[in-house]
Chains A and B, each alone.
Chain A
Amino acid sequence: MSMKRVLSTMLPGSVIALSCLVQLRALADDALLIGDVSRGKTLYQSCEACHSVDQNDVGPKHRGVVGRLAGSVSDYVYSDALKKSGITWTETTLNRWLIDPSAMVSGTKMFFRIDSAQSRADIIAFLKEQTTAK
């Protein structure tokens, strides 16, 4: 069998394998871990350079963010990109957002990422509490 033939035989399988890997990676990124509200509250201190639960800051206030349409806090000035994104903030979309905001919505003002999946889950668990706690 010629090398060309070998490559043409192997390539489709390789592409499928690679495609599966990419999809698995995407699934892993989107997979939600169980969050710890208490740890999330501590980690939220990291967000407070730009955010508050009850007041707009550099970023919009977070109370009620889970279930809210992106770009919908009336007294905060959003980027056009986020206003037009059509995203509703759920645990899944927030997780993707915190992985890399600018990859999810190009042109957003937020650039900060959280690499740890557990930390993202903890912060999201804390934010979820802010929907109903007050």
Chain B
Amino acid sequence: MSEESKNLSRRNALKCMAYGGAGTLFALSGGVLTPFNLADAADDKASMMKYGKPLFLQISDTHFGFAKEANPDVAGTFKQTLELVNGLKEQPPLIIHTGDITHLSKPSEFDMANQLFSQLRVTEMHTVPGEHDTTDPDVKEYFSRFGKASNNKGYYSFDHDGVHFIGLINVLQFKPGGLGILGDEQLAWVKADLKHRSSSTPVVVFTHMPLWTIYEPWGWGTSDAPQLMEQLRRFGSVTVLNGHIHQIVQKVEGNITFHSARSTAYPQPVAGEGAGPGPLKVPAGELTKYLGVTNVTINKHQHSVSLTDMAIG
């Protein structure tokens, strides 16, 4: 074997070691998800370009302030996330945080979040709150820091690079059992927001709790999400993102791709395993394999959006 071949093999082996547990890249085209080998795409700009240009990165469930056995150092694992994200060769133009920024909505926890977020190379961040961000009696800590975009309503939209983004809030009311609620007012606002948009516009909807029922006994869903889906069905490419369940779960329904992201703080059990959802303690040294972010690219030529999940360790 030539020296060059050896180096190439070694490089490929290292790539596989680094990204072997990181997940798979999916490209969505015409509603069909196609898996790609992430190791091929991880540091190869030409390969990445096949999948499209970086659109945004999703971070979720940072839970600053959490310090229980499942992860006594959530700031530490977020710093590892920072290294991963800041090390991406192609930086996405914006970051979306799908909630549970903090664990207990304390000012000190939000301050820690802002201090750490300021170390990201990407400076534009859009957020929606999780139920852990809204536990203070007046729900003012989240909105005083992140409420401007939505005029303190929690729901808003914006456009970036031809893609329409909609951030929604489903953590202020709950059904018995825990399903989230969007509410009539918010649903009416979405209807008005989408009314004049062309069906060819790629749409990204992001919220904290799943907008599809993943497991009702644990409240992993949103009770009135079907009404929202009715409004989204006419669009050719819809990507619906959430956090809350701290693990990757994915579903495709027509032109709508649903994707739940990992947390950067701690994993939770698979639906139905154990008495309920909660911080899952995993063997020492394996925690970071369960934590990560989702990178989303867009291929304008194919009107497709691709999702890549990356573990931080």
Pair B217/A48 contact, Cβ less than 8 Å: no
Q: Nearest residue in B to A100 (C-beta to C-beta)?
A: B176
Pair A47/B176 contact, Cβ less than 8 Å: no
The answer to whether A119 has its CB under 8 Å from any CB of chain B is yes
- Measured as residues with beta carbon below 8 angstroms from the partner, the interface class of chain B is 20 to 34
- How far is the CB of B227 from the nearest CB of chain A, in Å? 21
**Residue B68 contacts which of A52, A58, A100, A119 (CB distance < 8 angstroms)?**
A52
Asked if A45 meets B278 with Cβ closer than 8 Å, knowing A100-B176, A111-B175, the reply is yes
**Residue A46 contacts which of B137, B176, B178, B277 (CB distance < 8 angstroms)?**
B277
The answer to whether A37 has its CB under 8 Å from any CB of chain B is no
- How far is the CB of B264 from the nearest CB of chain A, in Å? 16
Asked if A43 meets B277 with Cβ closer than 8 Å, knowing A112-B219, A113-B177, the reply is no
Residues in chain B near residue A112, CB distance under 8 A:
177-178, 218-219, 276
- How far is the CB of B80 from the nearest CB of chain A, in Å? 22
A100 to B219, CA, bound (A): 13
The answer to whether A114 has its CB under 8 Å from any CB of chain B is yes
Interface centre among A45, A48, A123 (most CB of B within 10 A): A45
Pair B279/A48 contact, Cβ less than 8 Å: yes
Pair A46/B217 contact, Cβ less than 8 Å: no
Pair B174/A46 contact, Cβ less than 8 Å: no
A100 to B177, CA, bound (A): 7
Pair B274/A46 contact, Cβ less than 8 Å: yes
Residues in chain B near residue A111, CB distance under 8 A:
174-178, 219
Pair A49/B278 contact, Cβ less than 8 Å: yes
Asked if A46 meets B275 with Cβ closer than 8 Å, knowing A52-B68, A115-B217, the reply is yes
Residues in chain A near residue B274, CB distance under 8 A:
42-43, 45-46
The answer to whether A102 has its CB under 8 Å from any CB of chain B is yes
List which A99-134 residues lie within 8 A (CB) of chain B: 100-103, 111-116, 119, 122-123
A125 to B269, CA, bound (A): 22
Residues in chain B near residue A119, CB distance under 8 A:
275
- How far is the CB of A42 from the nearest CB of chain B, in Å? 8
A46 to B273, CA, bound (A): 10
DSSP majority for the B interface?
A: loop
A53 to B158, CA, bound (A): 43
A77 to B278, CA, bound (A): 22
- Measured as residues with beta carbon below 8 angstroms from the partner, the interface class of chain A is 20 to 34
- How far is the CB of B190 from the nearest CB of chain A, in Å? 24
The answer to whether A29 has its CB under 8 Å from any CB of chain B is no
A83 to B131, CA, bound (A): 21
Residues in chain A near residue B68, CB distance under 8 A:
48, 52
Pair B277/A49 contact, Cβ less than 8 Å: yes
- How far is the CB of B65 from the nearest CB of chain A, in Å? 9
Pair B70/A48 contact, Cβ less than 8 Å: yes
List which A48-77 residues lie within 8 A (CB) of chain B: 48-49, 52, 57-58, 77
**Residue B176 contacts which of A45, A102, A116, A123 (CB distance < 8 angstroms)?**
A102
- How far is the CB of A94 from the nearest CB of chain B, in Å? 14
Pair B275/A123 contact, Cβ less than 8 Å: yes
Q: Nearest residue in B to A42 (C-beta to C-beta)?
A: B274
A123 to B205, CA, bound (A): 38
Residues in chain B near residue A48, CB distance under 8 A:
68-70, 278-279
List which B269-294 residues lie within 8 A (CB) of chain A: 269, 274-281
Residues in chain A near residue B281, CB distance under 8 A:
45
Residues in chain B near residue A114, CB distance under 8 A:
275-276
Interface centre among A42, A46, A114 (most CB of B within 10 A): A46
A interface residues with partner B (beta carbon < 8 Å): 42-43, 45-49, 52, 57-58, 77, 100-103, 111-116, 119, 122-123
Could you give 27 example pairs across A and B, Cβ below 8 Å?
A42-B274, A43-B276, A45-B70, A45-B274, A45-B278, A46-B269, A46-B277, A47-B278, A48-B68, A48-B279, A49-B278, A49-B279, A52-B68, A57-B104, A58-B135, A100-B177, A111-B175, A111-B176, A111-B177, A112-B178, A112-B218, A112-B276, A113-B176, A115-B217, A119-B275, A122-B275, A123-B275
Known: A57-B103, A113-B177. 11 other contacts (CB 8 A): A42-B274, A45-B70, A46-B275, A46-B276, A47-B278, A52-B68, A58-B104, A58-B135, A111-B175, A111-B219, A113-B217
